[in-house]
Amino acid sequence: MNFSAKEVKKDFPIFKDSNLVYLDNAATTQKPQAVLDAVESLYKEANANVHRALYSLGSDATERFENSRKKVANFIGAPSKEIIFTSGTTESINLLARTLGDTLNSGDEILISEMEHHSNIVPWQMAAKRTGASLKYIPITESGELELENADFNIKTKIVSLTHMSNVLGTINPIEELSKRAHEVGAIMIVDGAQGVPHMAVNVKDLGCDFYAFSGHKMLAPTGIGVLWGKTEHLEEMDPFMGGGEMIDIVSMESSTWNEIPYKFEAGTPNFAQAVGLGAAIDYLEKIGMDEIQNHEKVITQYAYNALNQIGGLKIYGSAKERGGVISFNVDGIHPYDLAQFLNEDNIAIRVGHHCAQPLLKTLGETATARMSFYIYNDELDVDKFCASLETIKGYF
Ligand SMILES: Cc1ncc(COP(=O)(O)O)c(C=O)c1O
């Protein structure tokens, strides 16, 4: 397929008859008609609770739900039984912090980095507090890359949890190498893939990690659905996260036994309609091709970089060699909140603030930045409109 962001945009109802310039894709992405149709069709034609009903409607819903699991599994190169549906990356990491995290002891270490999102910091802080383990951070360099020579992998390290791509700096971390280093010291390697799998081809076996977490809404799917992939050997060993329906085998008044994986980790009615939406989103992304998507984002990001540099009077954060479609910046003399409000007058949506990464912002010496982040429907025209608006705003100040 010949990729054209302009053509892709036509598949997204939100852009129809609108001059919206949407540059906040690291926060959430817009939804193509195919995803909306898949969810609507589930509700209109096959709405029944999954894994419970013996009637046809229930089998249809279950089949659509389980088909989505297969699509997710194929998409990341894993068997279906290793795909746990969660509500998103945040829940996936909390699941790990509550299960694996609670097996830690005082003296054990959890290793994360200074560029993590709060959802890959706070659950580990809570686990450390519960168990007496300590939380260590890999520092970052001037260019916004992990300072690998000062990464403290040691025999006390039991869990390493790192982002695939920074939602602030755009840095793509060398996960294969990090997985090797984690395994050399006998630690478990977890990847926060919220900004990974939506933007590049991911094969969890090639990455060499033990767990990989991501959110559907950042890859065209509905909100409320996410994934935790984990290796069978770990999932079999781990205790369940939440208790309730579906995750059990036998329940007596005194105790319970657990269902097989992945259901052991899916207590209660799952977000099956949203999961079906995720399956449709994966179909849509696969039709374009993940390499094509990553390449498009590289081109548009470079175009935006050049355009911003031409405008001048800006500070851009992060200049890693391996990077994705995120640019964080501040404009001299304009507070990012003012910038966002003025851009909004021109129907241009960017994110400003700490991006749920307050420790990183502190390292950068800022309390807030502006951020533009791209996806498959953004084209050069979006960047041109942004730059024209920015030039006008600079004129006011
Ligand atoms: C790197 C990263 N990790 C985790 C998250 C949390 O994702 P969610 O809010 O979908 O759980 C985000 C969301 O912005 C993110 O960018």
Give the model confidence (pLDDT) of 69-118 as tens digits. 999 999 999 999 999 999 999 999 999 999 999 999 999 999 999 999 99
Give the E-state strand segments of the chain in sequence order.
21-22, 83-86, 109-113, 134-138, 157-163, 188-192, 211-215, 226-230, 248-251, 256-258, 314-317, 326-331, 348-349, 351-353, 369-373
Written as six digits, the tokens of 194 are 């919220």
Burial class of residue 351 (count of CB atoms within 10 Å of its CB; 0-12, 13-18, 19+):
buried
The closest alpha carbon to 8, from 379, 380, 382, belongs to 379
pLDDT tens digits, 313-346: 999 999 999 999 999 999 999 999 999 999 999 9
What is the band of 1 on the pLDDT scale with cuts at 50, 70, 90? low
From the CA of 122, how far away is ligand 1's center (Å)? 12
Indicate which residue's Cα is closest to atom 15 of ligand 1: 194
Cα–Cα dist 387/396, whole Å: 15
pLDDT at res. 52: 85
The 3-state secondary structure of 37-65, one letter per residue: HHHHHHHHHCCCCCCCCCCHHHHHHHHHH
Q: Which of 167, 169, 171, 360 to mutate to test the pocket of ligand 1 (most atoms within 8 A of CB)?
A: 167
DSSP β-ladder status, 248-251 and 226-230: unpaired
- Four-way CATH pick for 35-287: 3.20.20.70, 3.40.640.10, 2.70.98.10, 3.30.1330.10: 3.40.640.10
From the CA of 153, how far away is ligand 1's center (Å)? 25
Q: What is the DSSP letter of 80?
A: G
Cα–Cα dist 221/197, whole Å: 13
DSSP β-ladder status, 256-258 and 248-251: antiparallel
Residue with tokens 């799998």: 197
What residues does each domain of the chain span?
Answer: 5-23+289-396, 35-287
Q: Which of 115, 117, 351 to mutate to test the pocket of ligand 1 (most atoms within 8 A of CB)?
A: 117
What pTM was computed for the model? 0.98
- Which residues, judged by CB distance below 6 Å to any ligand atom, belong to the binding site of ligand 1? 26-27, 88-90, 117, 119-120, 163, 167, 192, 194-195, 215, 356
CATH 3.90.1150.10 fits 5-23+289-396, yes or no: yes
Asked whether the CA dihedral 274, 280, 284, 286 is positive or negative, the reply is positive
From the CA of 135, how far away is ligand 1's center (Å)? 20
The closest alpha carbon to 126, from 96, 87, 154, belongs to 96
Atom of ligand 1 nearest to the CA of 28: 14
Catalytic (active-site) positions: 356
Phi (first) and psi of residue 190, to 5 degrees: -115, 140
pLDDT tens digits, 222-234: 999 999 999 999 9
